[in-house]
Amino acid sequence: MIVDPQWAQGVCEGVHAAGSRHVVYVPDNPLSHVLRILREHYPDITTTLATREEEAFGIAAGLYLGGARPTVMLQSSGLGNSLNALTSLLVPYKIPALVVISMRGDAGEWNDAQVPMGRAVRPICDAIGLPHATADTPESTSETVRLVGQTAFGTRLPGVCLLPRRLTVPSTAPAPELRRGQASA
């Protein structure tokens, strides 16, 4: 039986408390918990899968034009895929979204290919003018997500809530060395 992690429950509570009933997403492993909890416990929240993150932001923009408060969920690697949508649609038109980003490339990362974008996420958000906050503990995640959403929808600008790996990856996960294959020299 899968136990719902507290941080993931907090994300769902925060999204709901921010008044969002539409989640557009490109999945990743930690977000699978959030998506499962939404499906099982939040029948009033609709989830829509996008084929890539830029598309997700386009759908979110349309949802907002129709009166909804959209949430977009993605892995940090997908922020790169999203930039043209953010900088030439959501930001200039002042179209808000609650953006929940599951981090890769931060402390605990084992995959080199995730590190450059993981390191760049906050500078990119700063460069394009998106406020961001980090959910530090399972207990505070709900409130952080809610507040980011409140500011996003109040000020009409996408707001980013980052979910670091130290939050989303259980400490019982196998050490990265054990998961990495041995290449021949």
Partner 1 sequence: MNRLEATHLLVSVLEDEPIVASLGHPAYDLFAAGDRPANFYTWGSMGLASSIGLGLALARPDIRVFVADGDGSLLMNLGSLATIGWTRPSNLVVIVWDNGEYGTTGGQDTATAHGADLDAAARAMGVTATVTVSTAGAFGAAIARARVEPGPWVIVAKVAESAPAVKPPLDCVFIKQRFMAAIGQPEAATRGGGA
Interface contacts to partner 1, rule CB under 8 A: 16-19, 22, 24, 46, 48-52, 54-55, 57-70, 84-85, 87-89, 92-95, 149-151, 153-154, 156
Which CB, 89 or 133, lies closer to partner 1? 89
- In which element (H, E) is residue 168 found? helix 165-168
Reference 163, options 47, 46, 39, 73; nearest CA is 73
Q: Which is nearer to partner 1, 34 or 60 (CB)?
A: 60
Say if strands 46-49 and 70-75 run parallel, antiparallel, or are unpaired: unpaired
Q: Residue 118's closest CA among 101, 131, 94?
A: 101
- Helices within 46-164 (DSSP H only): 53-65, 79-85, 115-127, 141-155
Measured CA to CA, the distance from residue 50 to residue 87 in angstroms comes to: 19
Question: Which CB sits closer to partner 1, 161 or 167?
Answer: 161
Specify which residues 72 forms β-bridges with: 24, 99
Q: What's the closest the beta carbon of residue 110 comes to partner 1, in angstroms?
A: 29
If the CB atoms of residues 32 and 46 are measured against partner 1, the closer one turns out to be 46
Q: Single out the residue of 179, 169, 183 nearest to residue 5, CA to CA.
A: 169
Query: Least distance to partner 1 from the beta carbon of 158, Å?
Result: 13
- Whose structure tokens read 């949508």? 85
In the bound complex, what is the minimum distance in angstroms from residue 112's beta carbon to partner 1? 27
- Cβ distance to partner 1 smaller for residue 55 or 109: 55
Closest contact distance (angstroms) between CB of 97 and partner 1 is: 10
Cβ at position 17, least distance to partner 1 in Å: 6
Q: Least distance in Å: CB of 82 to partner 1?
A: 11
Nearer to partner 1, 71 or 168 (CB): 71
* Residues ≥6 apart with Cβ < 8 Å to 5: 33, 138, 168, 170
